[in-house]
Amino acid sequence: MHRTKFRWHIVIFLTPAALVYTAVMIFPLFNTLRLSFYNEVGQERLFVGLENFRTLFLDPIWSTQFWNALANNFRFFIIHMLVQNPIGVLLAAILSHPRLRCAALYRSAIFIPTILSFVIVGFAWKLILSPLWGIAPNMLDAIGLKSLFEPWLGKEAYALTTLALISVWQFVGIPMMLIYAALLTIPEEILEAAEIDGITGSSAFWKIRLPLILPALGIISILTFVGNFNAFDLIYVTQGALAGPDFSTDILGTFLYRTFFGFQLQLGDTYMGSAIAGAMFAIILLGVCVYLFGIQSRMRRYQL
Protein backbone atom coordinates (compact mmCIF):
# COMPACT_ATOMS: atom_id res chain seq x y z
CA MET A 1 0.00 0.00 0.00
CA HIS A 2 1.25 3.39 -0.93
CA ARG A 3 0.01 6.06 1.47
CA THR A 4 -0.34 9.54 0.09
CA LYS A 5 2.28 11.77 1.68
CA PHE A 6 0.81 14.41 3.97
CA ARG A 7 0.84 17.58 1.94
CA TRP A 8 2.71 19.96 4.25
CA HIS A 9 2.89 22.74 1.74
CA ILE A 10 -0.85 23.31 2.08
CA VAL A 11 -0.50 23.91 5.80
CA ILE A 12 2.51 26.15 5.25
CA PHE A 13 0.78 28.25 2.66
CA LEU A 14 -2.37 28.59 4.71
CA THR A 15 -0.76 29.38 8.06
CA PRO A 16 0.22 33.05 7.57
CA ALA A 17 -3.23 34.06 6.36
CA ALA A 18 -4.95 31.99 9.02
CA LEU A 19 -2.79 33.51 11.76
CA VAL A 20 -3.33 37.07 10.63
CA TYR A 21 -7.05 36.51 10.20
CA THR A 22 -7.32 34.91 13.61
CA ALA A 23 -5.40 37.73 15.26
CA VAL A 24 -7.29 40.61 13.71
CA MET A 25 -10.76 39.12 13.13
CA ILE A 26 -11.59 35.91 14.96
CA PHE A 27 -9.97 36.67 18.29
CA PRO A 28 -11.44 40.19 18.60
CA LEU A 29 -14.85 38.86 17.59
CA PHE A 30 -14.91 36.21 20.29
CA ASN A 31 -13.32 38.49 22.83
CA THR A 32 -16.02 41.07 22.23
CA LEU A 33 -18.67 38.40 22.66
CA ARG A 34 -16.97 37.30 25.87
CA LEU A 35 -16.82 40.89 27.18
CA SER A 36 -20.56 41.26 26.72
CA PHE A 37 -21.05 38.81 29.61
CA TYR A 38 -19.04 40.95 32.00
CA ASN A 39 -19.56 44.25 33.69
CA GLU A 40 -17.56 46.52 35.91
CA VAL A 41 -18.62 46.80 39.51
CA GLY A 42 -16.47 49.29 41.36
CA GLN A 43 -13.12 48.84 39.68
CA GLU A 44 -13.51 45.12 39.22
CA ARG A 45 -14.63 43.11 36.25
CA LEU A 46 -17.32 40.62 37.15
CA PHE A 47 -19.09 37.90 35.19
CA VAL A 48 -22.74 38.89 34.99
CA GLY A 49 -24.10 36.37 32.51
CA LEU A 50 -26.89 37.75 30.36
CA GLU A 51 -27.44 40.79 32.59
CA ASN A 52 -26.13 43.23 29.94
CA PHE A 53 -28.52 41.84 27.36
CA ARG A 54 -31.38 42.03 29.83
CA THR A 55 -30.55 45.73 30.34
CA LEU A 56 -30.27 46.28 26.61
CA PHE A 57 -33.61 44.69 25.75
CA LEU A 58 -35.70 45.41 28.85
CA ASP A 59 -34.40 48.52 30.60
CA PRO A 60 -36.54 51.33 29.16
CA ILE A 61 -33.58 53.73 28.79
CA TRP A 62 -31.53 51.26 26.77
CA SER A 63 -34.28 49.40 24.98
CA THR A 64 -35.94 52.51 23.49
CA GLN A 65 -32.57 53.44 22.01
CA PHE A 66 -31.92 49.90 20.83
CA TRP A 67 -35.30 49.37 19.18
CA ASN A 68 -35.14 52.84 17.66
CA ALA A 69 -31.71 52.05 16.18
CA LEU A 70 -32.87 48.64 14.97
CA ALA A 71 -36.02 50.04 13.38
CA ASN A 72 -34.02 52.78 11.68
CA ASN A 73 -31.59 50.16 10.48
CA PHE A 74 -34.42 48.18 8.90
CA ARG A 75 -35.72 51.30 7.21
CA PHE A 76 -32.22 52.00 5.95
CA PHE A 77 -32.00 48.45 4.58
CA ILE A 78 -35.47 48.47 3.02
CA ILE A 79 -34.77 51.73 1.20
CA HIS A 80 -31.62 50.15 -0.19
CA MET A 81 -33.48 47.06 -1.32
CA LEU A 82 -36.27 49.06 -2.90
CA VAL A 83 -34.12 51.68 -4.57
CA GLN A 84 -30.55 50.55 -4.96
CA ASN A 85 -31.12 47.06 -6.30
CA PRO A 86 -33.87 47.76 -8.84
CA ILE A 87 -31.87 50.71 -10.16
CA GLY A 88 -28.80 48.47 -10.26
CA VAL A 89 -30.70 45.89 -12.33
CA LEU A 90 -32.07 48.58 -14.61
CA LEU A 91 -28.66 50.13 -15.18
CA ALA A 92 -27.12 46.72 -15.85
CA ALA A 93 -29.88 45.91 -18.33
CA ILE A 94 -29.31 49.18 -20.16
CA LEU A 95 -25.54 48.75 -20.12
CA SER A 96 -25.73 45.25 -21.54
CA HIS A 97 -27.79 46.47 -24.46
CA PRO A 98 -25.62 45.75 -27.50
CA ARG A 99 -26.37 49.01 -29.28
CA LEU A 100 -25.56 51.34 -26.36
CA ARG A 101 -22.67 53.65 -27.15
CA CYS A 102 -19.99 54.69 -24.62
CA ALA A 103 -21.09 51.85 -22.30
CA ALA A 104 -17.63 51.76 -20.72
CA LEU A 105 -17.86 55.45 -19.87
CA TYR A 106 -21.23 55.13 -18.14
CA ARG A 107 -20.08 52.01 -16.36
CA SER A 108 -17.07 53.80 -14.88
CA ALA A 109 -18.96 56.97 -14.07
CA ILE A 110 -21.62 55.08 -12.14
CA PHE A 111 -19.10 52.91 -10.38
CA ILE A 112 -16.72 55.69 -9.31
CA PRO A 113 -18.68 56.86 -6.20
CA THR A 114 -18.28 53.36 -4.79
CA ILE A 115 -14.54 53.79 -4.51
CA LEU A 116 -14.82 57.21 -2.86
CA SER A 117 -14.37 57.54 0.85
CA PHE A 118 -17.50 57.88 3.02
CA VAL A 119 -16.04 61.06 4.38
CA ILE A 120 -15.89 62.66 0.94
CA VAL A 121 -19.35 61.47 0.01
CA GLY A 122 -20.79 62.60 3.35
CA PHE A 123 -19.30 66.05 3.24
CA ALA A 124 -19.99 66.58 -0.43
CA TRP A 125 -23.68 65.74 -0.01
CA LYS A 126 -23.93 67.74 3.17
CA LEU A 127 -22.69 70.74 1.20
CA ILE A 128 -24.92 70.05 -1.77
CA LEU A 129 -27.97 69.86 0.48
CA SER A 130 -26.98 72.74 2.75
CA PRO A 131 -29.81 75.27 2.96
CA LEU A 132 -27.23 78.06 3.22
CA TRP A 133 -24.54 77.38 0.64
CA GLY A 134 -25.77 74.25 -1.10
CA ILE A 135 -26.49 74.03 -4.81
CA ALA A 136 -29.62 71.95 -4.27
CA PRO A 137 -31.82 74.95 -3.29
CA ASN A 138 -30.47 76.98 -6.23
CA MET A 139 -31.02 74.16 -8.69
CA LEU A 140 -34.59 73.71 -7.49
CA ASP A 141 -35.03 77.47 -7.69
CA ALA A 142 -33.84 77.49 -11.31
CA ILE A 143 -36.66 75.14 -12.31
CA GLY A 144 -39.16 76.96 -10.14
CA LEU A 145 -39.48 74.29 -7.48
CA LYS A 146 -37.81 76.14 -4.63
CA SER A 147 -40.84 75.50 -2.46
CA LEU A 148 -40.02 71.78 -2.52
CA PHE A 149 -36.70 72.38 -0.82
CA GLU A 150 -36.41 71.48 2.83
CA PRO A 151 -33.39 71.26 5.10
CA TRP A 152 -33.71 67.50 4.68
CA LEU A 153 -30.78 66.43 6.83
CA GLY A 154 -32.10 68.52 9.71
CA LYS A 155 -35.68 67.21 9.77
CA GLU A 156 -36.63 64.14 11.72
CA ALA A 157 -39.03 63.01 9.04
CA TYR A 158 -36.59 63.09 6.13
CA ALA A 159 -33.07 62.75 7.50
CA LEU A 160 -32.82 58.95 7.46
CA THR A 161 -34.36 58.61 4.00
CA THR A 162 -32.01 61.28 2.68
CA LEU A 163 -29.00 59.48 4.11
CA ALA A 164 -30.19 56.16 2.72
CA LEU A 165 -30.53 57.71 -0.72
CA ILE A 166 -27.05 59.20 -0.47
CA SER A 167 -25.77 55.75 0.39
CA VAL A 168 -27.70 54.32 -2.56
CA TRP A 169 -26.11 56.91 -4.84
CA GLN A 170 -22.72 55.83 -3.60
CA PHE A 171 -23.19 52.08 -3.84
CA VAL A 172 -25.50 51.53 -6.78
CA GLY A 173 -22.41 50.64 -8.82
CA ILE A 174 -21.94 47.35 -7.00
CA PRO A 175 -25.27 45.65 -7.84
CA MET A 176 -24.94 47.13 -11.32
CA MET A 177 -21.57 45.50 -11.88
CA LEU A 178 -22.55 42.13 -10.40
CA ILE A 179 -25.74 41.93 -12.44
CA TYR A 180 -24.00 43.23 -15.51
CA ALA A 181 -21.50 40.40 -15.15
CA ALA A 182 -24.33 37.90 -14.66
CA LEU A 183 -26.14 39.21 -17.73
CA LEU A 184 -23.02 38.83 -19.83
CA THR A 185 -22.74 35.13 -18.97
CA ILE A 186 -26.15 34.38 -20.49
CA PRO A 187 -25.39 32.64 -23.78
CA GLU A 188 -26.71 34.22 -26.98
CA GLU A 189 -28.19 30.86 -28.07
CA ILE A 190 -30.75 30.87 -25.29
CA LEU A 191 -31.92 34.35 -26.21
CA GLU A 192 -31.98 33.42 -29.88
CA ALA A 193 -33.98 30.29 -29.15
CA ALA A 194 -36.41 32.37 -27.15
CA GLU A 195 -36.67 34.85 -29.98
CA ILE A 196 -37.58 32.06 -32.36
CA ASP A 197 -40.29 31.06 -29.91
CA GLY A 198 -41.56 34.63 -30.03
CA ILE A 199 -40.25 35.96 -26.72
CA THR A 200 -38.61 39.30 -27.37
CA GLY A 201 -38.10 42.70 -25.78
CA SER A 202 -39.15 43.18 -22.21
CA SER A 203 -40.72 39.78 -21.88
CA ALA A 204 -37.35 38.29 -22.78
CA PHE A 205 -35.96 40.17 -19.84
CA TRP A 206 -38.64 39.07 -17.38
CA LYS A 207 -38.86 35.46 -18.57
CA ILE A 208 -35.30 34.62 -19.57
CA ARG A 209 -32.76 37.02 -18.14
CA LEU A 210 -34.26 37.74 -14.73
CA PRO A 211 -34.58 34.06 -13.65
CA LEU A 212 -30.99 33.55 -14.77
CA ILE A 213 -29.65 36.46 -12.70
CA LEU A 214 -31.67 35.62 -9.58
CA PRO A 215 -28.70 34.00 -7.80
CA ALA A 216 -26.71 37.21 -8.36
CA LEU A 217 -29.61 39.23 -6.94
CA GLY A 218 -29.59 36.97 -3.89
CA ILE A 219 -25.91 37.61 -3.31
CA ILE A 220 -26.47 41.34 -3.71
CA SER A 221 -29.31 41.31 -1.20
CA ILE A 222 -27.19 39.59 1.39
CA LEU A 223 -24.26 41.94 0.76
CA THR A 224 -26.62 44.90 1.17
CA PHE A 225 -28.00 43.41 4.36
CA VAL A 226 -24.60 42.87 5.93
CA GLY A 227 -23.33 46.24 4.72
CA ASN A 228 -26.34 48.14 6.02
CA PHE A 229 -26.38 46.52 9.43
CA ASN A 230 -22.70 47.29 9.82
CA ALA A 231 -23.11 50.82 8.47
CA PHE A 232 -21.80 53.64 10.57
CA ASP A 233 -19.45 55.92 8.65
CA LEU A 234 -21.91 57.91 6.57
CA ILE A 235 -24.19 58.70 9.50
CA TYR A 236 -21.27 59.57 11.74
CA VAL A 237 -19.74 61.87 9.14
CA THR A 238 -22.93 63.73 8.31
CA GLN A 239 -24.86 63.72 11.57
CA GLY A 240 -22.28 63.05 14.26
CA ALA A 241 -22.34 60.38 16.95
CA LEU A 242 -25.68 61.54 18.34
CA ALA A 243 -27.25 60.71 14.97
CA GLY A 244 -29.54 63.70 15.03
CA PRO A 245 -32.01 65.18 14.69
CA ASP A 246 -33.39 63.58 17.84
CA PHE A 247 -31.83 60.17 17.09
CA SER A 248 -33.88 59.85 13.92
CA THR A 249 -30.83 58.61 11.99
CA ASP A 250 -29.44 56.47 14.80
CA ILE A 251 -28.59 53.02 13.51
CA LEU A 252 -26.94 50.13 15.34
CA GLY A 253 -23.46 51.26 14.27
CA THR A 254 -23.77 54.76 15.72
CA PHE A 255 -25.50 53.41 18.84
CA LEU A 256 -22.61 50.99 19.32
CA TYR A 257 -20.01 53.71 18.79
CA ARG A 258 -21.63 56.06 21.28
CA THR A 259 -21.94 53.37 23.90
CA PHE A 260 -18.57 51.70 23.42
CA PHE A 261 -16.38 54.77 23.05
CA GLY A 262 -18.52 57.35 24.83
CA PHE A 263 -19.43 60.76 23.58
CA GLN A 264 -18.80 64.21 25.01
CA LEU A 265 -19.53 63.81 28.74
CA GLN A 266 -20.82 60.28 28.33
CA LEU A 267 -18.04 57.87 29.17
CA GLY A 268 -17.44 54.78 27.10
CA ASP A 269 -18.96 51.55 28.40
CA THR A 270 -17.00 48.62 27.03
CA TYR A 271 -19.38 46.02 28.39
CA MET A 272 -22.68 47.43 27.20
CA GLY A 273 -20.91 48.30 23.96
CA SER A 274 -19.90 44.67 23.57
CA ALA A 275 -23.46 43.60 24.29
CA ILE A 276 -24.68 45.81 21.44
CA ALA A 277 -21.96 44.44 19.19
CA GLY A 278 -23.09 40.94 20.19
CA ALA A 279 -26.68 41.78 19.32
CA MET A 280 -25.58 43.17 15.95
CA PHE A 281 -23.59 40.01 15.29
CA ALA A 282 -26.62 37.88 16.14
CA ILE A 283 -28.91 39.93 13.89
CA ILE A 284 -26.53 39.67 10.95
CA LEU A 285 -25.93 35.97 11.56
CA LEU A 286 -29.66 35.37 11.70
CA GLY A 287 -30.22 37.30 8.50
CA VAL A 288 -27.50 35.42 6.67
CA CYS A 289 -28.83 32.07 7.92
CA VAL A 290 -32.36 32.88 6.80
CA TYR A 291 -30.95 33.66 3.40
CA LEU A 292 -28.66 30.65 3.16
CA PHE A 293 -31.11 28.00 4.36
CA GLY A 294 -34.43 29.60 3.57
CA ILE A 295 -33.78 31.17 0.20
CA GLN A 296 -30.56 30.16 -1.44
CA SER A 297 -30.99 26.42 -0.98
CA ARG A 298 -34.45 26.59 -2.59
CA MET A 299 -33.46 28.79 -5.45
CA ARG A 300 -33.65 27.10 -8.84
CA ARG A 301 -30.43 27.18 -10.72
CA TYR A 302 -30.14 26.67 -14.42
CA GLN A 303 -27.23 25.03 -16.09
CA LEU A 304 -26.12 27.35 -18.82
Partner 1 sequence: MKIHTRQWILAGLAITVSQVASAQTTLTIESWRNDDIGLWQEKIIPAFESEHPDIKVNFAPMAPTEYNAALNSKLDAGSAGDIITCRPFDASLALYEAGYLSDLSDMDAMDGFSDVAKSAWQTDDGSVTFCVPMASVIHGFIYNKDAFEEVGVEVPTTEEEFFAALQKFKENGNYIPMAMGTNDQWEAATMGYNNIGPNYWKGETGRRALIDGKQKLTDEVWVAPYATLAKWEPYLGDGYEAQTYPDSQNLFTLGRAAIYPAGSWEISGFNELADFEMGAFKPPVRQAGDTCFISDHTDIGIGMNAASENPEAAKTFLAWVGSPEFASIFGNALPGFFPLSDTPVELEDPLAKEIVGWREQCESTIRSTYQILSRGTPNLENETWGASVAAIKGTETPEELGAKLQEGLNSWYTPEN
Least distance (Å) between residue 88 CB and partner 1:
29
Contacts 24+ apart (CB under 8 A), 198-206: 205/93
Cβ-based nearer residue to partner 1, 227 or 244: 244
Residues between 150 and 169 that touch partner 1 (CB under 8 A): 150-156
Total residues in contact with partner 1, by rule CB under 8 A: 35
Q: How many of the other CB atoms lie within 10 Å of CB of 155? A: 13
Q: Does 4 bind partner 1 (CB under 8 A)?
A: no
Comparison of 224 and 249: residue with beta carbon closer to partner 1: 249
Q: What is the smallest separation between the CB atom of 47 and partner 1, expressed in angstroms?
A: 20
Question: Is the preceding peptide bond at 86 cis, omega within 30 degrees of 0?
Answer: no
Q: Does 276 bind partner 1 (CB under 8 A)?
A: no
Between CA 173 and CA 166 the distance in angstroms is 13
Q: Does 256 bind partner 1 (CB under 8 A)?
A: no
Contact call for residue 129 and partner 1 (CB under 8 A): yes
- Nearby residues of 254 by Cβ (< 8 Å), 6 or more positions away: 69, 232, 235, 236, 239, 241, 243
Minimum separation from the CB atom of position 44 to partner 1 (A): 12
Residue 250 binding partner 1, by CB under 8 A:
no
45, containing H or E segment: strand 44-47
Which pairs count as long-range contacts for 105-112, CB under 8 Å and 24+ apart, including other chains? 107/176, 107/177, 107/180, 110/172, 110/173, 110/176, 111/173, 111/176, 111/177, 112/173
77-85, 99-107, 128-136, 277-285 -> range binding partner 1 (CB under 8 A): 128-136
| 56: contact with partner 1 by CB under 8 A | no
Residues near partner 1, by CB under 8 A: 43, 61-62, 126, 129-133, 137, 150-156, 239-242, 244-247, 257, 261-269
